[in-house]
């Protein structure tokens, strides 16, 4: 009987272990964290704004002297749906995020800090329910049977990993700068079905890990930077599992309040190159790899690959006050649908992004920016015939101050 409960509980509780992130590059790791990234997504070698604290921590040592403070206001409008046997379930709510990032530069020294959602980024609301398909089980008495995991009441899924990253950067000489810092993450997962009547479950975890960076000004036109975020051990503790659904009692036989589930936040390595092709023109290329196979997820990682994305961007200073930017991203999260076909409410599909935006320098100490980025996802059909589709639009507004 215990094996039966374990299998049913794993499938049912899978609803809690999903990411409602609209713009995560990989299965967990988030990249679209600032308005400047939305405008021009190849930011790993950029050292022109306070979001270097996130994307190019070593490059924060090259910023103009003074205190740089930036706030981004990001909105993600999504249209996600999955369908099975002619029935469609849809989530079309918006998520909002206000990242904060800062850099203090004095001589060769740079100090940086940023607060944002490094993973997840809000919630997905399925007003008319959702389906996880049917799960085959072997009951010790009834024998082989299928358990239908379709729910037709409103369901709300939340997964967010806010965190703080902070550290120090240092100019070794006129060409090289290095950085060392630490990032603390707090993961929150919640699911409510029928406003908690059928299921009300949540878990959370906290962890931290170092972040290292290297920036090389190879020439007066060429910058190359590297960032590595170490794997963060995350052991989620179940806060509650309640509800009237018949499977809840089975789940509670295995997944009790206080139970722990391992779901590490993967290490990530990013490298970027920026080249000034003319006084007013800059081009950049980035690549990032999330080491998902090395992140302990209780065995789930064995069916995953290492996710990656590549990004390119271009910027032009059309006037001393106005800068236009555009970019492109291709991402393969390497989340094998055959690995666990029940995570239909937000599948991690391959996608492409086209972004564009503008930055306005109001004064020597204040800049404003606005950008948009539509996401185009590949569709996917699970072995059970559940077709999953996603559309997302990222809109961002940013403010940057320099206090000298």
Alpha-carbon span 263 to 234, nearest angstrom: 5
- Position 1 scores a pLDDT of 42
- Position 342 scores a pLDDT of 52
Say which residue, 344 or 75, is predicted with more confidence. 75
- Position 135 scores a pLDDT of 72
Longest C-alpha distance within the chain, in Å?
A: 77
Q: Which CATH superfamily is domain 2-403 in?
A: Outer membrane protein transport protein (OMPP1/FadL/TodX) (2.40.160.60)
% of the chain exceeding 70 in pLDDT: 89
Say which residue, 55 or 258, is predicted with more confidence. 55
Say which residue, 332 or 181, is predicted with more confidence. 181
- Position 347 scores a pLDDT of 73
Say which residue, 94 or 233, is predicted with more confidence. 233
Q: What is the CA radius of gyration of the chain?
A: 22
Question: Domain spans of the chain?
Answer: 2-403
Please check the confidence at residue 51 and state whether its pLDDT lies above 50. yes
Alpha-carbon span 120 to 234, nearest angstrom: 14
Please check the confidence at residue 23 and state whether its pLDDT lies above 70. no
Q: Which two three-digit tokens encode residue 298?
A: 């209780």
Query: Which of 14-18, 32-36, 53-57, 157-161 holds the top average pLDDT?
Result: 53-57
Alpha-carbon span 221 to 218, nearest angstrom: 8
Tens-digit pLDDT profile for residues 126-176: 888 888 887 766 555 666 777 777 888 898 888 889 999 999 999 999 999
Q: E-assigned strands of 172-198? A: 176-193
Q: What average pLDDT does range 372-387 have in this prediction? A: 88
Alpha-carbon span 140 to 221, nearest angstrom: 70
Give 10's pLDDT tier (boundaries 50, 70, 90): very low
For residue 385, count CB atoms less than 10 angstroms from its CB and return exposed for 0-12, middle for 13-18, buried for 19 or more.
Answer: exposed
- Position 2 scores a pLDDT of 45
Give 20's pLDDT tier (boundaries 50, 70, 90): very low
Q: What average pLDDT does range 256-285 have in this prediction? A: 93
Alpha-carbon span 69 to 79, nearest angstrom: 33
Question: Among 249, 73, 53, which Cα is nearest to 165's?
Answer: 53
pTM: 0.89
Question: Among 131, 79, 96, 125, which Cα is nearest to 390's?
Answer: 79
- Indicate the range of 47-51, 116-120, 141-145, 154-158 predicted with least confidence: 141-145
Question: Among 113, 105, 100, 117, which Cα is nearest to 48's?
Answer: 105
Length of the chain: 404
Query: Which of 138-142, 158-162, 244-248, 350-354 holds the top average pLDDT?
Result: 350-354
Print burial letters for 142-179: b (CB count within 10 Å at least 16), e (below 16).
Answer: eeeeebebebebbbbbbbbbbbbbbbebebeeeeebbb
What's the mean per-residue pLDDT of the chain? 87
């Amino acid at each position: 009987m215990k094996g039966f409960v374990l299998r049913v509980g794993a499938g049912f509780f899978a609803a809690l272990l999903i990411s409602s992130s609209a713009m995560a590059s990989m299965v967990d790791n988030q990249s679209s964290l600032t308005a400047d990234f939305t405008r021009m997504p190849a930011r790993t070698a950029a050292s022109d704004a306070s979001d270097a604290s996130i994307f190019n921590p070593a490059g924060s040592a090259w910023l103009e002297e003074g205190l740089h403070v930036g706030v981004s206001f990001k909105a993600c409008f999504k249209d996600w749906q999955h369908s099975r046997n002619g029935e469609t379930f849809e989530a079309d709510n918006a998520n909002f995020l206000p990242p904060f990032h800062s850099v203090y530069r004095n001589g060769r020294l740079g100090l940086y800090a940023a607060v944002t959602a490094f993973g997840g980024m809000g919630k997905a609301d399925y007003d008319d329910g959702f389906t996880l398909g049917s799960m085959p089980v072997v009951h010790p008495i009834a024998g082989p049977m299928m358990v239908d995991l379709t729910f037709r009441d409103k369901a709300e899924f939340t997964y967010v990993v806010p965190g703080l990253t902070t550290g120090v950067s240092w100019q070794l000489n006129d060409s090289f700068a290095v950085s060392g810092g630490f990032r603390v993450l707090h993961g929150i997962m919640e699911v409510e079905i029928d406003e908690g009547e059928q299921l009300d479950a949540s878990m959370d975890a906290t962890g931290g890990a170092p972040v290292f960076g290297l920036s090389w000004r190879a020439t007066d036109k060429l910058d190359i930077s590297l960032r590595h975020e170490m794997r963060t051990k995350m052991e989620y503790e179940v806060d509650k599992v309640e509800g009237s659904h018949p499977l809840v009692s089975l789940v509670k036989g295995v997944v009790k309040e206080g139970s722990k589930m391992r779901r590490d936040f993967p290490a990530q390595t990013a490298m970027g190159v920026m080249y000034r092709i003319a006084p007013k023109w800059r081009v950049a290329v980035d690549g990032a790899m999330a080491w998902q196979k090395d992140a302990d997820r209780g065995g789930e990682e064995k069916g995953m690959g290492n996710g990656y994305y590549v990004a390119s961007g271009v910027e032009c200073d059309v006037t001393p006050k106005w800068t236009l930017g555009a970019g492109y991203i291709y991402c393969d999260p390497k989340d094998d649908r055959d690995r666990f076909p029940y995570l239909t409410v937000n599948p991690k599909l391959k996608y492409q992004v086209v972004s564009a935006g503008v930055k306005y320098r109001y004064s020597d100490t204040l800049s404003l920016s606005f950008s948009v980025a539509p996401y185009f996802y590949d569709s996917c059909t699970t072995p059970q015939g559940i077709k999953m589709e996603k559309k997302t639009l990222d809109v961002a507004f940013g403010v940057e101050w320099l206090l000298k």
